Amino acid sequence: MKLLLKLFAVFAKVGVMTFGGGYAMIPILQREVVEKQKWASEEELMDYFAIGQCTPGIIAVNTATFIGQKNKGVFGGIFATLGLVFPSLVIISLLAGVIEAFSHIVWVQHAFGGIRICVCVLIVNAVIKLFKKAVIDKFSFVVFLAVALAAFFTDLSPVIFVLVAAVLGVVIKNAGGKKA
């Protein structure tokens, strides 16, 4: 029960500290889940994000569920997920009634503009950290470049990118006789 409450508390902390959605959670998840709690490695966190991107639902919720399930089974997944969404549920419930009354105020609009910029920086920081861990050889750089160009210049689903990258990883690493 102690670990279940810890999963809830850590993911509630992540949920309350994150603005901007799943990708903005990457740096906080890295710090809390990988560095502090050691519930997952950075590679596992990247894998969970990739799988979470391909499965129905919100990427951050899916990731919390994976990490909780890994550490304490089904109940761990449930507690981690509930912890992640609980702060948003409370805050959104409180704000829903008053947001319209204040959204037209200029300083509120400027505050949201500042928050959006901050979220962009957090995402870029997370991408740089993930890039350093994921792009480790020529093959991974080619896959990175191909997916980046396809993402920028097409409207293909991210699921397609992940599936094609997975197939390429299996085919190329096996063809080269290397372990994936």
Sequence ranges of the domains in the chain = 2-132, 135-180
Distance, in Å, from the CA atom of 117 to the CA atom of 7, rounded to the nearest integer, reads 30
CA-only gyration radius of the chain, Å: 18
Helix (H) / strand (E) element for 38: namely none
Distance, in Å, from the CA atom of 1 to the CA atom of 29, rounded to the nearest integer, reads 22
For the question of whether the overall pTM of this predicted structure is more than 0.75, the answer is no
pLDDT tens series, the chain, 180 aa: 899 999 999 999 988 887 666 677 788 888 999 999 999 998 898 888 888 877 777 888 888 999 999 999 999 999 999 999 999 889 888 888 787 788 888 998 898 889 889 888 878 887 888 888 889 888 889 888 988 999 999 999 888 888 888 888 888 778 765 554
